[in-house]
Structure 1
């Protein structure tokens, strides 16, 4: 059965609102599939509830404990899921081996974005390009009383300041006091709701929360960077949700056929971003009714609203406004963030900003330089060398950003990178794997970057490099790094076989 693809309008809707509901059909999965998934979730929690040690408990409801379920394998063989993920992330997307079964209870979560990779750290700058997607699978009818997932539609491009916030989480959270003061478990429900409303308004006064009421056997594709949370149950039932992560390993391919689109973003402040990402994904141009902010003021990146700053920044980038370079180097977190995202949309401007950011004494500026190197296409050999050097930086977040950039350099280029650059990148990634001072988070990123080298037949890994990866994987102690390394080896073998005469 052919994998049904999403329409251009559906993809635009996902880029705009950050989620898309899919009602899975019984044809492939079977009529009793949702009931079987529900029982698997219930059984997993029954085993977990018997454990006194946290790690033993988690083992039943996360990662290998979830992946071992035959129904999960069956779910991922569904043409509907594969077609939708291929539409968003490309034909060679990778399911990252973190998964989790959530069970609703009487508590409330705060609004948060899942941690950027590596998991649990702040080493990665979230790209506006569609790199990661989550899937939420619901095996039961999910009503308001059962505590559905709540999202802030369209919030995937907007973020909050991290510096000075006291945030030690890998996630980005709205309202850190919610966690510190255990507000989510307070018996005062009005207090909880007041805090949550404050969180919403702190991000944007116009955004409206949405609780995902869905039928059994529903899948919701969610942009990885969308603010979301678990809500409390108000009845005595059971509500489970399976969560999975997926990532892109190659650039969007040219459109294979002529199509049309007529989607309009629900918030005009997102329109410049959605238009830019749609163009990068080779979607047909959606006819526009005009964009808010076309008369953007010079100081728009100092606006109090994240949405307004980003809208203004993207429009400045479209005009090739070089003031974005100064704003990226301003040292003001919110201004720098908006400017860097805007620069990423215009490589010609970004390449002018990168040297200034690299020469800064601030590792945060250097991290932004690495991000821009990874976002640009057709960078020169000198910038490859800059990224290689940064992998040796003692500041963990800067070196991790460099590793991410090296993987993206491989696949962002419109023409194959030179053999010298290819070998320089691979050798530096191997150096990280051998460095005893680098932690599992670094190695997770190395293997994710190496996926870009095994994703196609251009400049693929040499035999001795594959052997080196195999040796490193066999000694790997970090489960996420190991599972991704195994995928690199599988893809390298597949590419080699396909290239054989």
Structure 2
């Protein structure tokens, strides 16, 4: 990640990221650096097309961007020091005077329960001066935790643009709503998108924290102002405080009944507010959220799971029982919430392992992801994940690779099967197997990793126009 001192985010920047879901930051490369970068991008796109996941090896100087202390510092602040540069990356080219549609990025065409906690982040880097008229990426502040497009009537007023001089980049929560804006100048505009993953749950602040206590940022771009409980919980989670929300508000039957009714509100911001407020209210709140988890309406169940995921140890028994529920979405949401509870989930581990053999693939890959978030795995956990590397469903296989990456050296027994996975037909199964070998880090894992990389090494100078020389 480079040798220069990282420029970690400040408390105010972290507050802004938690509330708005993004930060606009700036590198300090020379104009000559970006001019050279643009020339290479233009050549590659004109003669070879979009290099896709091969963007970094094809344009080698681009690695300097992701070694820059502003970028490494920002990523370390949000994702911890052992963050992963994911194998999926993409260079976006925009030269048309039409806006793209608002969307959340998928996980490479697949689905998963989206984390409110920042387990994932993206960097959107602009290698040319990008004024508003050139079509920078637009983001909708504060929408990273909303499943629906809640801002449909506010988009023109509230949209924020990642515009600025060459070297500007947006650090965004992976799940924020965003789009391309119209390029009214018709000149080439590149945006280089890279994805990053947290490999360890936070145990302490990894930014330049001076103030332990949550407070709102001085400036809020998000139009959704009623989520202070959710924002405070995220701040505490990033500070390494697991379950900090539990039992922090007095509970009475009337307030719990009112919040429970709000779980069905037409406004998603109101619904999420209710779920997080119920998480604060001890036994009565947990019981209401568990009832919501079992609801036949998947949206109510999903929102209740977010509340249960931050309700502390009091929610674990009910979540464990819910793993046997007849509703498939209830099982998925319960497994998700247990993963976020981490070491508090010990009593549920055996059931989560059993779910790795569930007939529904969405249950299997959710259980595989949750087991990778628990920190100290049992031998049975590792054995179960090894079997998942052989699963017929591709999402189970590549989710398992990421989980084994998070387990690190404790997953040493998986090395032989990970070597087999290096020949999988799916590019992300192969990529995640490589990452798992890297994070496991034993001599056997390193030998397998190096051998594969040497066998599949790619020459960045070899193109249809230059097959051998220079």
TM-score range, shorter chain: 0.7 to 0.9
Distance 2:125 2:367 in 1: 34
RMSD of aligned residue pairs (Cα, Å)? 2.7
By how many angstroms is 1:432 displaced?
A: 1.6
| Count of residue pairs brought into register by the alignment | 419
Distance of 2:120 and 2:173 partners within structure 1: 7
Pairing 1:200–2:151 present: yes
Quote the Cα distance in structure 2 between the aligned partners of 1:342 and 1:102.
Answer: 36
Q: In the alignment, which residue of structure 2 is the partner of 1:346?
A: 311
Structure 1 position 478 matched with structure 2 position 426: yes
Does 2:191 correspond to 1:241? yes
Cα distance in 1 for partners of 2:9, 2:115 equals: 22
Offset at residue 336 of structure 1 (A):
1.8
**Is 2:109 the partner of 1:120?**
yes
Alignment of 1:41-60 (within 5 A): 41-48=41-48, 57=49, 60=50
Q: Structure 2 CA distance, aligned partners of 1:228 and 1:451?
A: 29
Preserved CA contact (<8 Å) 1:145 1:233: yes
1:282 to 235, 239, 256: 239
CA distance in 2, matches of 1:259, 1:487: 34
The question of 1:100 aligning with 2:90 is answered yes
- Distance in 2 of aligned mates of 1:138 and 1:375: 34
Q: Within 5 Å, which residues of 2 pair with 1:365-376?
A: 365-376=330-341
- CA shift for structure 1 position 108: 2.6
| Pick aligned residue for 1:69 from 39, 50, 59 | 59
Q: Which one is further off, 337-346 or 86-95? A: 337-346
SS at match of 2:45: helix
Choose between structure 1 and 2 for higher RCO, CA contacts under 8 A separated by at least 6 residues.
1
Contact 1:139 1:217 in 2 (8 A): yes
The reply on whether 1:448 has 2:387 as its aligned counterpart is no
Q: Gapped runs of 5+ residues in structure 1?
A: 49-56, 161-173, 175-198, 285-290
SS in 2 for 1:461: helix
- Is the contact made by 2:8 and 2:73 (CA closer than 8 Å) also made in structure 1? yes
| Pairwise CA distance, 1:154 | 0.4
Deviation at 1:470, TM superposition (A): 2.4
Q: Distance in 1 between matches of 2:58 and 2:385?
A: 31
**Cα distance, 1:258 vs structure 2:** 6.7
Distance in 1 between residues matched to 2:345 and 2:138, nearest whole Å: 44
**Paired position in structure 2 for 1:156:** 144
Q: Could you tell me which of 465, 470, 482 is aligned with 2:414? A: 465
Distance in 1 (CA, whole Å) between partners of 2:195 and 2:429 is 15
Contact 1:5–1:86 (Cα < 8 Å) also in 2: yes
- After superposition, where does 1:397-436 map in structure 2 within 5 Å? 397-409=362-374, 411=375, 416-417=376-377, 422-435=378-391
TM-score (norm 2): 0.82
Specify whether residues 17 and 495 from structure 1 end up closer, same or farther in structure 2 by C-alpha distance, changes over 3 A only.
farther
Bigger shift: 301-310 or 210-219?
210-219
Do 1:9 and 1:263's aligned partners in 2 also have CA atoms closer than 8 Å?
Answer: no
